[in-house]
Amino acid sequence: MGKKKTTSAPPAGPRITPLDQLAEAAECLRVLAHPHRLRMLQLVRQGDFTVGELAAACEIVSPAASEHLRLMERCGFLVADQRGRRRYYRLAEEHVPHLTAILTCIESRFGAA
Amino acid sequence: MGKKKTTSAPPAGPRITPLDQLAEAAECLRVLAHPHRLRMLQLVRQGDFTVGELAAACEIVSPAASEHLRLMERCGFLVADQRGRRRYYRLAEEHVPHLTAILTCIESRFGAA
DNA sequence: TTGATATATCGGAATGTGACGATATATTGA
DNA sequence: TCAATATATCGTCACATTCCGATATATCAA
């Protein structure tokens, strides 16, 4: 039972995260936990899209898409710039790695055409 | 479509997932989207734990922990075996890769002691 | 200007979730 | 057997979310 310590073993600590940090993480996950929002994220990963385009891709009306997009903008996942009467959404740079990780995980499990 | 976009991207498939699959994915994410459940998953990644141990680690009462654990068991994330009056939970083998990916993502963003 | 388009916002109904307390069941140990 | 422990279940309540329809605002096109 002597703990044989190999070189460069990862930190053996129990790797737990404070509960208030996990609460933040859970909030982020709740934002992701919606089929239309997931599809919107899949799309904006590949370029800019307008509210109407994303609504059509999700087969929902624009007002509904607008709310989903604003939610994701408020929590920092998306950024938008307005050009004329259109509003173009794209992924926020800082979240690209995390969102990519999660979307890749989902696609590996549920497939992507 | 935005014409200012540099459309040099190859016409690779838009990598979208059918909405009903995304609905399943969203359900899974909703299960994960809770601070106590996230901590439970962090713990059971490192071995088996009883309901009471997980409740203590989350600073909640056992009945609450019991419900969270049963939810994660029903959706396939956890498996349990009963030994005496204790019930030991651990990660379901088939979900280890996906859960590891997501927990790693969370820990990289929110830290883990 | 007028009319059409794109997006945003509001109100309300339906639904679901989580916390909580109380109780129930089962197993161990004395 | 009895009492204590470990876990499960139930009922209820407060709260948030989602969807829908209607309306509001802003911008473009003619």
Domain interval for residue B86:
32-108
Does residue B13 fall inside a structural domain?
A: no
Q: In what order do the strands lie in the sheet with B49-50?
A: B49-50, B86-91, B78-83
Rounded (10°) angle between helices A51-58 and A62-74: 110
Helix, strand, coil share (%) of chain A residues, nearest 5: 55, 10, 30
**In whole angstroms, what is the distance from residue B95 CA to residue A108 CA?**
12
pLDDT digits (tens, 9 = 90+) for B56-75: 999 999 999 999 999 999 99
Contacts of B18 in chain A (CB under 8 A): 111, 113
Does residue B86 fall inside a structural domain?
A: yes
DSSP state of B34: S
Give B14's pLDDT tier (boundaries 50, 70, 90). Answer: low
pLDDT at A18 (0 to 100): 95
Does residue A52 fall inside a structural domain?
A: yes
pLDDT at B8 over 50: no
Domain count along chain A: 1
| Closest residue to B39, CB basis, from A16, A35, A42 | A16
* A16 in contact with chain B, both atoms CB, cutoff 8 A: yes
pLDDT digits (tens, 9 = 90+) for A25-42: 999 999 999 999 999 999
SS3 B17: coil
pLDDT at B6 (0 to 100): 36
Contacts of B15 in chain A (CB under 8 A): 42, 45-46, 107, 112-113
Name the nearest CA neighbour of B52 among B44, B60, A80.
Answer: B60
Give B111's pLDDT tier (boundaries 50, 70, 90). Answer: confident
pLDDT at B9 over 50: no
SS3 B39: helix
pLDDT at A15 over 60: yes
Does residue A65 fall inside a structural domain?
A: yes
Q: In what order do the strands lie in the sheet with A49-50?
A: A49-50, A86-91, A78-83
Does residue A95 fall inside a structural domain?
A: yes
Å between CA of B71 and C1' of C8: 37
Phi/psi of residue B41, nearest 5 degrees: -65, -40
Beta bridge partners of A79: A90
Does residue B19 fall inside a structural domain?
A: no
Residue with CA nearest to D20's C1' atom = A64
CB A109 within 8 A of CB B21: no
Does residue A14 fall inside a structural domain?
A: no
**In whole angstroms, what is the distance from residue A112 CA to residue A108 CA?**
8
CATH number of domain containing A101: 1.10.10.10
Does residue B1 fall inside a structural domain?
A: no
Beta bridge partners of A12: none
List, in order, residues 6 or more apart from B94 with CB less than 8 Å away: B76
